């Protein structure tokens, strides 16, 4: 749908949006260095400081809390050479347990060692080299190496999916784990301290920013780029493991990878918008430049989409990152039960338990409405439906 002007320097693509989300977006758009405008995506909902589903272009400054604490969070999907007929009859519970044994789940669950898989060492070497050459101080996260290849909790997940032609896809959602969180928290506090020190009046303390030209800005961008690369490689590591256990489950040598899409949806990058070079923060949004592929997940019991960007200038070449929450985790637990979750997940192999009730599909917005609202931002290339879901707790 075409965007609606929702305030000074604010365009909104969401047909269903809460008042507090709009209020947060208006606060963000009021920052003096925003250019040309803030774009509110179809899946937008309230978040810390800035609403999730907000695209924020800034001149000469970056807001660390707007990027968020899960730096580089995003999606990775692999299209395989297998089809539905190849996996039919296989015991999906066996595959699920193999995934759970290979990818540490939940916050604080790390790899016991880092030498089990041959493909892990090159990723660690790249990250170590980047940290050394850019003086990235990781003393706050002595176990960051053990975090590579771990899922995390909340709405992070691993799925086996079928597309509209019954092609098999491997699919997962994760970010920069504890190390990214520590980096984010460190720089959010620095920005808040400096804005307070400079007597800057902010509409919200989580809109504290770092201006170009001060050493703290350069340090944040350097650390941010490292964390974004960690998140990208973390997804790649888990996908390599998923592919290995899937191939073993299939009784083959490899998982017949035909295509791989790995995209962030919480990050900052330098781009040109409104005829100027800006720092573009996508807080819950994907890159949708013309021809760029991305992944937009639904919920654990609904469809997801592989999309191609249309390069919408008004949309800041961005698109939604998922369904977006309809109810908070607390509210979802009040409304729904484990039996409700089991009913919604009929036909899908999943981790059963009370701890997953707040991830019930009903707690999320209707992904079909989100995609209809995004029609001017992306075109749909593939529609995925899950047959297996593994959630982090």
pLDDT reported for residue 316: 98
Confidence tier at 1 by pLDDT (50, 70, 90): confident
- Residue 233 has phi, psi (to 5 degrees) of -75, -30
**pLDDT given for residue 208 in this prediction:** 97
Q: What is the mean pLDDT of residues 199-207?
A: 94
Q: How many CB atoms lie within 10 A of CB 6?
A: 18
For the cut 90, the answer to whether the pLDDT of residue 2 exceeds it is: no
E strand intervals along the chain: 4-7, 10-12, 38-45, 52-58, 61-62, 74-83, 157-162, 167-174, 210-211, 257-264, 266-273, 276-283, 285-287, 293-296, 304-309, 318-320, 349-350, 378-391
Residue 393 has pLDDT above 80, yes or no: no
Tell whether the model's pLDDT for residue 151 goes beyond 90. yes
- R_g of the chain, CA atoms, integer Å: 20
At residue 348 the predicted structure's pLDDT band, cuts being 50, 70 and 90, is very high
In whole angstroms, give the CA distance from residue 244 to residue 237.
11
Question: Encoding tokens for residue 288?
Answer: 């949708």
What string of DSSP letters covers 273-322?
Answer: ETTEEEEEEEESEEE--TT-EEEE---TTS-EEEEEE---TTTTTEEE-S
Retrieve residue 325's tokens: 């929450």
| Residue 209's pLDDT band (cuts 50, 70, 90) | very high
CA distance 228 to 327: 28
Looking at residue 315, what is its pLDDT? Answer: 98
Is the distance from CB of 244 to CB of 67 less than 8 angstroms? Answer: no
**Percentage of the chain lying above the pLDDT 90 cut:** 88
Q: Is the pLDDT of residue 155 over 90?
A: no
Average pLDDT over residues 126-153: 96
pTM attached to this predicted model: 0.96
Residue 234: its pLDDT value, please? 98
Higher model confidence: residue 183 or residue 2? 183
Average pLDDT, the chain: 95
Q: Does the pLDDT at position 108 exceed 90?
A: no
Whether 321 is catalytic is yes
pLDDT the model gives residue 7:
86
Please state the φ and ψ torsions of residue 305, each to the nearest 5 degrees: -135, 140
Strand partners, 380: 307
Q: What mean pLDDT comes out for the span 248-276?
A: 96
Catalytic hit among 45, 255, 321, 382 = 321
pLDDT-based confidence at 223, cuts 50/70/90? very high
Q: How far apart are CA 217 and CA 204, in angstroms?
A: 20
Is the C-alpha dihedral spanning 49, 50, 53, 59 positive or negative? negative
Question: Does the pLDDT at position 150 exceed 90?
Answer: yes
Chain centroid offset of residue 159 CA: 15
Q: Over the stretch 61-88, which tens digit does the pLDDT of each residue have?
A: 999 999 999 999 999 999 999 999 999 9
| Concatenated DSSP letters of 318-343 | EEE-S--BSS-HHHHHHH--HHHHHH
Q: Measured between alpha carbons, how far is 218 from 64 in angstroms, rounded to an integer?
A: 12
- Architecture per CATH, domain 4-292, reads as Alpha-Beta Complex (3.90)
Question: Could you report how far apart the first and last alpha carbons of the chain are, in Å?
Answer: 35
Mapping DSSP to helix (H, G, I), strand (E, B) and coil, where does residue 269 land?
strand
Domain segments of the chain: what residues? 4-292
- Residues 143 and 165: their CA atoms lie apart, in Å, by 42
Q: What percent of the chain has pLDDT over 70?
A: 100
Q: Given this model, what pLDDT does residue 116 score?
A: 84
Task: Give the pLDDT confidence of 307-328 residue by residue, as tens digits.
Answer: 999 999 999 999 999 987 888 8
The answer to whether 14 and 6 are in contact (CB under 8 A) is no
- pLDDT score of 182 more than 80: yes
- Assign 112 a pLDDT band (cuts: 50, 70, 90): confident
Q: For position 109, what pLDDT does the model report?
A: 83
């Amino acid at each position: 749908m075409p965007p609606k002007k929702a305030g000074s320097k604010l365009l909104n693509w969401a047909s269903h949006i809460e008042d507090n989300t709009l209020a947060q977006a208006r606060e963000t758009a009021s920052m003096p260095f925003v250019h040309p405008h803030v774009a509110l995506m179809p899946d937008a909902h309230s978040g810390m400081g800035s609403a999730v589903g907000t695209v924020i272009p800034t001149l000469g400054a970056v807001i660390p809390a707007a990027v968020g604490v899960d730096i580089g969070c995003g999606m990775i999907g692999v299209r395989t050479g297998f089809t539905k007929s190849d996996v039919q009859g296989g015991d999906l519970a066996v595959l699920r347990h193999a995934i759970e044994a290979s990818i540490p789940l939940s916050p604080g669950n790390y790899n016991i060692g880092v030498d089990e898989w041959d493909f892990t060492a090159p990723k660690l070497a790249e990250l170590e080299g980047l940290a050394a050459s850019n003086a990235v101080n990781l003393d706050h996260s002595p176990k960051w190496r053990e975090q590579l290849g771990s899922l995390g909790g909340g709405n992070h997940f691993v799925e086996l999916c079928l597309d509209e032609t019954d092609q098999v896809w491997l699919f997962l959602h994760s970010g920069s784990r504890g190390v990214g969180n520590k980096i984010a928290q460190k720089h959010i506090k620095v920005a808040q301290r400096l804005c307070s020190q400079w007597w800057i009046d902010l509409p919200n303390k989580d809109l504290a920013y770092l201006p170009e030209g001060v050493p703290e800005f350069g340090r944040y961008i350097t650390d941010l780029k490292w964390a974004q690369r960690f998140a990208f490689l973390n997804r790649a590591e888990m996908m390599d493991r998923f592919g290995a256990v899937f191939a073993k489950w299939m009784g083959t040598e490899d998982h017949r990878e035909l295509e791989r899409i790995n995209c962030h949806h919480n990050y900052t990058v330098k781009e040109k918008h409104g005829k100027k070079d800006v720092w573009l923060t996508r807080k819950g949004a994907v890159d949708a430049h013309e021809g760029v592929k991305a992944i937009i997940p639904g919920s654990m019991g609904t469809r997801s989409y592989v999309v191609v960007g249309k390069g919408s200038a008004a949309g800041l070449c961005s698109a939604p990152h998922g369904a977006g929450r309809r109810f908070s985790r607390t509210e979802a637990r009040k409304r729904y039960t484990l039996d409700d979750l089991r009913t919604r997940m009929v036909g899908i192999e999943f981790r059963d338990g009370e701890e997953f009730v707040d991830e019930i599909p009903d707690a999320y917005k209707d992904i079909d409405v989100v995609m209809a609202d995004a029609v001017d931002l992306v075109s749909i290339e593939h529609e995925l439906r899950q047959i297996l879901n593994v959630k982090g707790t």
